[in-house]
Amino acid sequence: MAGVVSHPLDNVLWKVGLLCDGDERSQFGLKGVCDLSEAEVLQLVSEASGWWPEPESRFGPFRVAAERVLEDCGHVGDRLAIACERRESVILATGHPTGLPLLYIEIGRELAKRGVELLTPFEGTPFHEGHKGRREIRYFHDVAMLVGHGNTLHTHSSRPMELMLEEGPRPDLVFADHGFAGAAIEAGIDTVSIADVNDPALIVAKALGRTQAVVVMDDNVRPEAYWPCFQAIAARLP
């Protein structure tokens, strides 16, 4: 299933180092997530993934326990169940358009069946992000993705969600990843999210008590590989 083997250990260590060095792209729009030491962040990532590398190891795979993935998906499902019972408004968004959209789309369909309002703010409005050129937020079956030059884009940027929240209305809940999730957490919105072991900002945010459930797994495998994740989440819905 998705997430059993994630990124190479040296890649994880490098990305942890970037976060702790204050790399803006690694922070996902979150303040205070770069204040821990590299050893502390790596400890949080290991606890979240259910796997600890050997001391002083630098190479080899960084594994994620399948049981931990399903457990965390269950926690996401519990919060989404509350959204269904309350008929809340929800934003779904992904910065990883090659792996995760199908999971979000199918979850969105289940939520809509149960009376959840799926919000689509700032749709199709052009904006510029530095030197990167023209960008837009487009929704594919109610899931927000960043688009540029006619292509869906992988992004860590928090700016798209910041613009979505500025336009409003403010959602009751966000289910997202990358900077989409980071910006929602920073804005004080109830958020559940997906994080990879080589992007630890959301894991740190959870450890700091700033967000709820975070599913730690490989976020860029074949879309069909997330089927067990969908089942684990959907099983908690009323």
Residue 93 backbone phi and psi in degrees, to 5: -155, 145
Question: Is residue 7 within 8 Å of residue 234, measured between CB atoms?
Answer: no
pLDDT greater than 70 at residue 188 = yes
Nearest to 94 by CA among 147, 39, 58, 16: 147
The answer to whether residue 48 is domain-embedded is no
Among the listed residues 76, 16, 2, the one whose alpha carbon sits nearest the alpha carbon of residue 46: 16
Does residue 3 register a pLDDT over 70? no
Q: Which residue has the tokens 């080899």?
A: 60
* Domains identified in the chain, total number: 1
pLDDT of residue 132: 77
Q: Tell whether 34 is covered by a domain.
A: no
Token pair for residue 136?
């837009």
Interval 19-63: pLDDT, tens: 999 999 999 999 999 999 999 999 999 999 998 776 766 777 888
- Would residue 175 count as lying in a domain? yes
Give the contacts of 3 (CB within 8 A, at least 6 positions apart). 64, 66, 69, 216, 217, 218, 221
* Domain assignment present for 226: yes
The answer on pLDDT for 9 being more than 70 is yes
Amino acid, res. 90: V
Task: Dump pLDDT digits (tens) for 115-157.
Answer: 999 999 999 999 988 777 899 999 999 999 999 988 999 999 9
The answer to the question of residue 132 being in a domain is yes
CATH number of the structural domain spanning residue 223: 3.40.50
List Cα–Cα distances, 106 to 66, 71, 143, 202, 227, in angstroms. 21, 19, 10, 23, 10
Say if 52 falls within a structural domain: no
Q: What is the pLDDT of residue 4?
A: 54
Output the CA torsion 111→203→199→40 (10° steps): -170
pLDDT of residue 186: 98
How does pLDDT run across 48-103, given as a tens digit for each residue?
999 877 676 677 788 899 999 999 999 999 999 999 999 999 999 999 999 999 99
Q: What is the pLDDT of residue 58?
A: 78
Domain that holds residue 84: 66-234
50, part of any domain:
no
The reported pLDDT for the residue numbered 62 is 82
By the 8 A CB rule, do 117 and 87 touch? yes
Q: Which long-range contacts (CB under 8 A, 24 or more apart) does 188-195 make?
A: 189/165, 190/79, 192/75, 192/76, 192/79, 192/80, 194/100, 194/219, 195/48, 195/219
